[in-house]
Amino acid sequence: MTLRSKFTWLLLIAVLAGGAAYWQMRRAAAPAGAASSSAAAEAVVELQPEDVSHLSMQTLTQTLPVSGNLKALNSVSIKARVAGELLMLQGREGDSVKAGQVIAKIDPVEFQRRLRQAEQQADAAKTQIDIALRQYDNNKALVDQGFISKTALEASEATLSGARATYNAAVAAADVARKTMDETVLLAPISGQIAARLAQPGERVAIDQKLLDIVDLSSLELEATLSPADAMDVRIGQQAQLTLEGRDKTLYAQVQRINPNVQSNSRSVLVYLRLQNAPGLRQGLYGQGQLELASRQVTALPLESVRTDKPLPYVQLIVNGRVAHQTVTTGQRGSITGGNPAQVWVEVKGVAEGAQVLSPRTGSLREGVNLRIASP
């Protein structure tokens, strides 16, 4: 046998020996792999009772998110009605005032003199009426006796009419001067609290210069900004649940007014919600919440229970002790009666009532995983 033939046979024997060894190793490893797969298939995930809920009919209230700042229903800015030196300004920020209370005085000396001047001009005009009336009576007597012509009588009558008109104008001027003098004393038009003090006694103020801001905190409302599409579903009398910054307590409000105009700058609609039984609040606080639009009976789940990590939304169910992924169709969103108003629920279709649904706290579980619910 040649050397080349011997080499070929040796190579063939080596290949056959290696193949036999490889298949023996595969056969030895196969039982271990099968056991591992079987163990994975039989793995059990234990859940707590609160991790599972039953799909049931709920009274789902369709809601609309609203937010805005609180505003006092009644507020007023006190402005100077005449120019002059400010003699007195009553109260500071936070002080209470009552309607009709004197809160500011402006130096009235100049206006008193103007009133006296107008009254004296009225007295002078009245004296001219007396003179013109006597002249008219004398001329009338002379005309009756034929001593003068009717032209002289007509002239005296015109003089009398002019004197009366001058007197009436002087009286009106005196009334204007009296009113101006009265405006040196400013009264509070509403009861409330002083929100801003914008002047000090001793200053010379101009007409329409702001002196004080007064707000009545007994009636507050939330000014909410909505899109025109959302505002179409809002009606007078609808209820809302609100929370304010710095407060955990839920407050209740009612739609009181809806602005008929769309704001030109923001293309939004202003809706005003009157707060009910809300003492201790302040103007300018920011509030947010849900406005209740309509209610109906549907099968609903918390919004976070519907998973969206697949192309179609689905929920995780317990079917025969295993995890099952069920595709659903979502509908109306809102809150449920008796539930947390801050939690959003959603209508679901495609799942039978009474189905066991996993809560979102369990995370994403693979379909087919065995489940066991721990005893309470």
HSE-CB of 152 using CA atoms within 13 angstroms? 13
Mean pLDDT of the chain: 84
Residue 69, pLDDT > 70, answer yes
What is the model's pLDDT at position 332?
81
What is the model's pLDDT at position 18?
59
pTM: 0.62
Among 192-201, 220-229, 286-295, the least confident range? 286-295
Q: Give CA–CA dist 339/295, Å, rounded.
A: 14
Give the DSSP H or E segment for 29. helix 3-41
Burial (CB count <10 Å: 0-12, 13-18, 19+), residue 306: middle
Among 14-18, 244-248, 353-357, the least confident range? 14-18
How confident is the model over 96-117, as a mean pLDDT? Answer: 93
Residue 314, pLDDT > 60, answer yes
Cβ 344 vs Cβ 300: under 8 Å = no
pLDDT confidence tier of residue 370, bands split at 50, 70 and 90: confident
**CATH no. for 66-71+217-294:** 2.40.30.170
**For residue 189, what are the contacts with CB-CB under 8 A and spacing of at least 6?**
76, 78, 99, 214
What is the model's pLDDT at position 35?
42
**CATH no. for 44-61+296-373:** 2.40.420.20
Q: Give CA–CA dist 106/115, Å, rounded.
A: 16
Domains of the chain, by residue range, sit at 44-61+296-373, 66-71+217-294, 78-193
Residue 76, pLDDT > 90, answer yes
Structure tokens at 7: 């080499």
What is the model's pLDDT at position 6?
57
Residue 41, pLDDT > 60, answer no
Report which of residues 135 and 21 the model is more confident about: 135
Residue 28, pLDDT > 70, answer no
Among 185-189, 201-205, 277-281, the least confident range? 277-281
Q: Give CA–CA dist 281/267, Å, rounded.
A: 30
pLDDT confidence tier of residue 22, bands split at 50, 70 and 90: low
How confident is the model over 81-102, as a mean pLDDT? Answer: 93
Q: What is the DSSP letter of 245?
A: T
What is the model's pLDDT at position 159?
84
Q: State the architecture of 78-193 in CATH terms.
A: Orthogonal Bundle (1.10)
Encode pLDDT of 241-258 as tens digits. Answer: 888 887 778 889 999 999
